[in-house]
Chains A and B, each alone.
Chain A
Amino acid sequence: MIAILASMLLAAAHPCAPVEPAPVRDPASASAYRKVGDAERSAGSPETAARAYRAALALDPSDGAARRALDDLCREAGGPFRRGMARMDAGDLRGAIAAFREARAQGSDPSAALVEGVCHYELGEDGEARAALREAATASAHREAAEFYLGLIALREGDSGEAARLLDAAAANPGFAPAASDLARLARRSGKLVFSILAESGWDSNAQLAPGGTPISTSSDGSLSVTATGLYRPRGESGPYLRATGLYRAQARFTDLDFGGVSAAAGWQLGHARRGLLAEYDYDYRLLGASSFLSAHRLLAGGWMPAGPLTLGASYYARFESYRAALYSPFSGTLQRAEGTVGLRLGRSGRFTLGYHLARDGVERSELSWTEHGPGAELRVALARRLRLAVNAAVSLREYDKLDPALGIQRSDRYLDAVALLEWDVGDRLTARFSLDGRKAFSNAAAFDYVRIAPTLGLAYVFGM
């Protein structure tokens, strides 16, 4: 009996599949199955209900109530809401939206409105998403879920105040609290106008990039630096933007290496974190040791798009550099860099990116011009809700164009770079940072073979409006 029942239950649970009668009729058990089917149907579990009704009909084919209920489930199984959910699960968001709209056309359906809103959000259709989510928010069962997604939309549109309000409201639901609280904190640091200031103190084992073998004490130095940035995005994440940065770094020993500068950029981002294009113009002016050092114009273009579980990215820039001091003027020229990346999301809070770059610095003197290429990798992971770690490593293989008469060789360099950055959100707008920056340069010219390690401790304050 057990085997027969199990096979009947397992063979075909779909409500529309034909029911095979059991060898022996058992109306009493059939009645129990039907009651279980009714209870499961009331609980909103049509699949379990169908299994129970099918068992009831197998044991008593004359059970009219079980037959009618199974017929109803069969009709509902082809209904638009369930069709939409199946399409959503399969990744067909357009198909899912069409089905959810069909469900909503039959009458008010907050559940369909919620999932339709989520589909629109995923597709970047914020206007349609907002309308559907607002309808969903009228149902108490979906209120916080709808507020969560409305908050995400406000966040990417740069409406930080509204985003923080919605995400704080969504955080009242303990199921959304961790993500919503973190995003509300992010919202307070975002907005159409964002200012940040970063103060850092660091030590550099080899501030002068002295060759290997030089005693550390002769080239090491401490520094204090301040960087202030303003970012204006009138239409939020997607749209035009202006950025201005000012920075100053004072060395403790080698004041001729005191470094300062300002930069201003104007750009346009089309799209969001999932898929986008970006174009930017940037101007940099730099001082070194209180003297004019560099003036540079940069044109940048980039894009990123999903490809299954991966994110593919590419970028290119050309930087037109003009060194002001006579000592550095031979380095004036055009630096170009192109990079391709493949990113993979690691769970809910990590990302691993692999990349390969090609760079070319064409300067006034060909013995100083070079071509470089090499791989890089980056791991970003949230260690805890307020603690993030980023580790970056890269290898660069650089070949100079011509023999350097001063050195008597044609330079060939290899660089191993590694950076680790630990960030801890001390408050809603305050972040403590610790970074460790290291480079090992190998060169066929001994004077350019060096090691450098630079730990830095900093505090960043960010606020958005």
Chain B
Amino acid sequence: MHVGGVLLVLAVMSSPGAKGGAPVGTHLAAGANAFREGHYEDALVEFRVAQELGAGDAGPYAAATLVKLGRPEEAVEAFAATEEGRDTLLDYYRGVACYQARLYLCADRLLASVGARSGPRIAEEAARARAAIASELAKEPPRSTVDWYLTRCGERRDAGRPALAAALCEEAVGLAQRRTDRYRLTEATTQLAKLPLSGRAGVAR
């Protein structure tokens, strides 16, 4: 299993919910076991059930499991309610979710913070991902890329997914700021401001 997987299981097992006993703790523990064994669908179900039953701390674990399941956009949404910087491992998974969801600025910010606080394996993987991101961000982003993020932001907002929309708009703002002509920066900032504050992926940091 991936080193992050072992650490995540340890994190779940030591969380207040897991120690809290049945039924919430049972589901968190079942989710952690399934995660450790690589049964990520089962892990997701158990973490989600724990959430349904009131375990607030199950959300980021479900989000990490969504990363493992290759559902990065949902993971970005699931992480949105979690504060950045409190747990290195969760920040790592969150960074991976952003990277896979093509939110490169978000990923770079998170993985940079992870690098300084994590163990050597996670730091190495974070550094590798950051190197790939650096090559993506090396040049001034084309206008069409800013357009792409703004279009997706609007589409996700209209589809009732404000957290994901905010993450996309935030990326558009960041990319527009990297252009000398600040292409559509005002529009992106305005669009981002109209989204519910609580749903924004990067706002909680």
**Which residues of A are at the interface with B, using a C-beta cutoff of 8 A?**
1-2, 5-6, 9-10, 13, 28-29, 32-33, 35-36, 39-40, 43, 45, 47-48, 51-52, 55, 140, 168-169, 171-175, 177-178, 385
Give the docked Cα–Cα distance between A36 and B52 (Å). Answer: 8
Which residue from B22, B42, B71, B102 sits with its C-beta under 8 Å from A45? B71
A-B contact pairs, 16 of them (CB 8 A): A6-B33, A32-B52, A36-B45, A36-B48, A36-B52, A40-B44, A40-B45, A43-B71, A48-B45, A48-B69, A140-B151, A172-B148, A174-B136, A174-B145, A175-B102, A177-B136
Interface of B is mostly: helix
Q: Are A33 and B102 in contact (CB under 8 A)?
A: no
Expressed in whole angstroms, the minimum distance between the Cβ of B62 and any Cβ of chain A is: 10
Specify the chain A residue showing the minimal Cβ separation from B143: A172
Expressed in whole angstroms, the minimum distance between the Cβ of B122 and any Cβ of chain A is: 24
By a CB distance below 8 angstroms, the chain A residues around B33 are 2, 6
Q: Does B57 contact A (CB under 8 A)?
A: no
Q: Are A173 and B148 in contact (CB under 8 A)?
A: yes
Give the docked Cα–Cα distance between A32 and B55 (Å). Answer: 12
Q: Does B119 contact A (CB under 8 A)?
A: no
Which residue from B23, B30, B41, B142 sits with its C-beta under 8 Å from A13? B41
Interface of A is mostly: helix
Q: Does B189 contact A (CB under 8 A)?
A: no
Q: Are B145 and A1 in contact (CB under 8 A)?
A: no
By a CB distance below 8 angstroms, the chain B residues around A2 are 26, 29-30, 33
Q: Are B45 and A6 in contact (CB under 8 A)?
A: no
Q: Does B49 contact A (CB under 8 A)?
A: yes
Q: Are B42 and A6 in contact (CB under 8 A)?
A: yes
Which residue from B45, B136, B147 sits with its C-beta under 8 Å from A172? B147
Classify chain B: how many residues form its interface, as a range: 20 to 34
User: How many contacts A-B (CB < 8 Å)?
Assistant: 77
Give the docked Cα–Cα distance between A240 and B173 (Å). Answer: 50
Q: Does B87 contact A (CB under 8 A)?
A: no
By a CB distance below 8 angstroms, the chain A residues around B44 are 40, 48
Which residue from B23, B30, B41, B151 sits with its C-beta under 8 Å from A47? B41
Expressed in whole angstroms, the minimum distance between the Cβ of A27 and any Cβ of chain B is: 12
Q: Does B84 contact A (CB under 8 A)?
A: no
Given A48-B45, A140-B155, A178-B136, 5 other A-B residues pairs in contact with their CB atoms under 8 A = A9-B45, A33-B45, A36-B52, A43-B74, A174-B102
